[in-house]
Amino acid sequence: MPLLDQSLHRTEIRRLLSRLGIAYQQSGVAHEEWTERPSGEALPVLSPADGAELATVLLGAEEDYDDAVYLAQRVWPAWRDLPAPRRGLILREIADALRSSLDDLAALVALESGKILAEAKGEVQEMIDVADFAVGLSRQLYGLTMPSERPGHRIMEQWHPLGVIGCITAFNFPVAVWSWNAFLAAVCGNCVVWKPSEKTPLSAIAVHKICEPILARHGFRGVFTLVCGGGSVVGERMTADRRLPLISATGSSPIGRRIAEIVGGRLGRSLLELGGNNAAIVMADADPKLAVPALLFGAIGTAGQRCTTIRRILVQRSVADDYREYLLRAWEKVRIGHPLEPRSLCGPLINQAAVRNMRQALATIREQGGQVLFGGDAVELDYEGKPLLGGCYARPALVASPPDMPLLKEEIFAPVVHLVEFDDLDEAIAINNNVPQGLSSAIFTESLRAAELFLSPRGSDCGIANVNIGTSGAEIGGAFGGEKDTGGGRESGTDSWKAYMRRQTATINYSKSLPLAQGIQFDL
């Protein structure tokens, strides 16, 4: 239930929230919400763009979470029994509604998360694309038919929905990652309870304001439910809840490990998208016109706060000096500014704590033998000399690091990228793989042999491996996820829908005899 403090906000912000269905009264008290009086505390939502308070959200407590699960459980049998193609038609309506709200929702995502408007629009477009993907998927939830060794028998494998699943998302993709899970899970016949990040609850509320009227009109209110609450309250309750057979969670590796332990302890399933420590390998034969822009976006997109952000640029030694100059020139041209300013290429970090963590990481890099070549300082004026408020802006840093630096194994969730030199491809692959994380990776080369080796079993050990493109910006058609400390989950494309289903093998005997498998004789 958002509360709007009118003394702190421009009329444009109030109008934006109202257009997205987040209504308020003159007294500042929200109305027309799902829960009349949430039991949790009031949480101010601050924009990292200027430090302004966008709204205050009343958080849910355990009893509010239980109400959300109960609502989802109550509607699930009817949603499960609705034919999948008809579920797909409802998701088509949701896709159209998201199209109509794209600009407003993107503006809210930019204000709340700090990512530049172009990226925020891309995130909302990704939701639309996933919804369209789910519509097509509604007629392709295929099983298998297998020959039986017994005469007059047929074996088939089919898939059934799990029930009510839990989805925990992070601030850096406040709406898109939910859609990966929710739209695919829903078209498979599941309901979804969503706990968004406490840093970006307004974007989640706006999405539910778009989806809920459509589901309610068809008699399926509760297929998607939302609980804005703290991780120590709602998150812990959700992961331990046996009513939720699957928990999908996005976040850091330590948080994911904690979730996996709790969910595993009750023999539930977890789908984890955790940290990344992604490397891009630049071979001597790479095309700089292709590599440099890709490296720049991969390193500074979302101010370095993507799980797929390039953290390490591995450059073949013979061209290392050239690429150091290429990259320095590119980094110097980055326009840092307000995320709604169309010319901005890099917005703020999510909060001042993130800026402090970035500075601490740079200090550690220096202690461990690295050299800061560019950036890392706070930015108070944008590229046109206008003041940048909020204290969350920092210049993306380019660092020269030795390959044995301990910090190379850790994910710095900020725009800090290491330059590491190597001699040959085998060494580069070894450096690429020598980290606990295994999400995304890339190689830039004109050599077919090098590209194929990178993609071979001897190559990258990551869930994503790209050739001549960066580590970020995955399309929704391919399953997204990584290995090792990244959690092993797969979301969005190809057959990732199976994560939200239970597999059932069925054998049908249409003969008049009862032969047993493996030729076992059991006659009375």
Angle, helices 320-332 vs 288-300, to 10°: value is 50
Better pLDDT: 452 or 24: 452
CA dist 483 → 253, 274, 312 (Å): 11, 9, 18
Nearest of 352, 389, 394 to residue 372 by alpha carbon: 394
Give the mean pLDDT of the chain. Answer: 94
Q: Residue 397 and residue 304: Cα distance in Å, rounded? A: 10
Please compute the mean of the pLDDT values over residues 471-477 and round it to a whole number. 92
Q: Which two tokens stand for residue 383?
A: 């590229």
Active site residue 462: no
User: What pLDDT, on a 0 to 100 scale, did the predictor assign at position 34?
Assistant: 53
Question: Would you call 251 helix, strand, or coil by DSSP?
Answer: coil
In the chain, the amino acid numbered 258 is R
Tallying the residues shown for the chain, one arrives at: 524
For 316-360, what is each residue's pLDDT tens digit?
999 999 999 999 999 999 999 999 999 999 999 999 999 999 999
Question: Which of 16-25, 113-122, 410-419 shows the lowest mean pLDDT across its residues?
Answer: 16-25
Q: Which of 188, 191, 307, 392 is catalytic?
A: 307
User: What pLDDT, on a 0 to 100 scale, did the predictor assign at position 7?
Assistant: 36
pLDDT over threshold 50, residue 33: no
User: What pLDDT, on a 0 to 100 scale, did the predictor assign at position 382?
Assistant: 94
Active site residue 126: no
Alpha carbon of residue 46 to chain centroid: 21
CB count within 10 Å of CB 475 equals: 10
Q: Specify which residues 259 forms β-bridges with.
A: none
Residue ranges in 101-142 assigned as alpha helix (H): 102-113, 117-137
pLDDT over threshold 60, residue 3: no
User: What pLDDT, on a 0 to 100 scale, did the predictor assign at position 30?
Assistant: 37
Q: Which of 273, 411, 421, 491 is catalytic?
A: 273
DSSP result, 318-376: GGHHHHHHHHHHHHHT--B--TTSTT-SB---SSHHHHHHHHHHHHHHHHTT-EEEE--
Question: Which of 8-22, 80-94, 224-238, 316-330 shows the lowest mean pLDDT across its residues?
Answer: 8-22
Q: Which two tokens stand for residue 518?
A: 């493996």
Q: Assign 464 a pLDDT band (cuts: 50, 70, 90).
A: very high
Better pLDDT: 427 or 31: 427
Indicate the burial class of 264 (C-beta count within 10 angstroms; 0-12, 13-18, 19 or more): exposed
Query: What is the model's pTM?
Result: 0.94
Q: Assign 27 a pLDDT band (cuts: 50, 70, 90).
A: very low
Please compute the mean of the pLDDT values over residues 45-73 and round it to a whole number. 93
CA dist 183 → 133, 167, 374, 397, 465 (Å): 9, 12, 42, 37, 26
For 63-122, what is each residue's pLDDT tens digit?
999 999 999 999 999 999 999 999 999 999 999 999 999 999 999 999 999 999 999 999
Q: What is the side-by-side order of every strand in the sheet holding 501-509?
A: 144-147, 153-161, 501-509
Q: Residue 14 and residue 45: Cα distance in Å, rounded? A: 14
Q: In which element (H, E) is residue 257 found?
A: helix 253-265
End-to-end CA distance of the chain: 69
pLDDT over threshold 90, residue 219: yes
Q: Residue 228 and residue 208: Cα distance in Å, rounded? A: 12
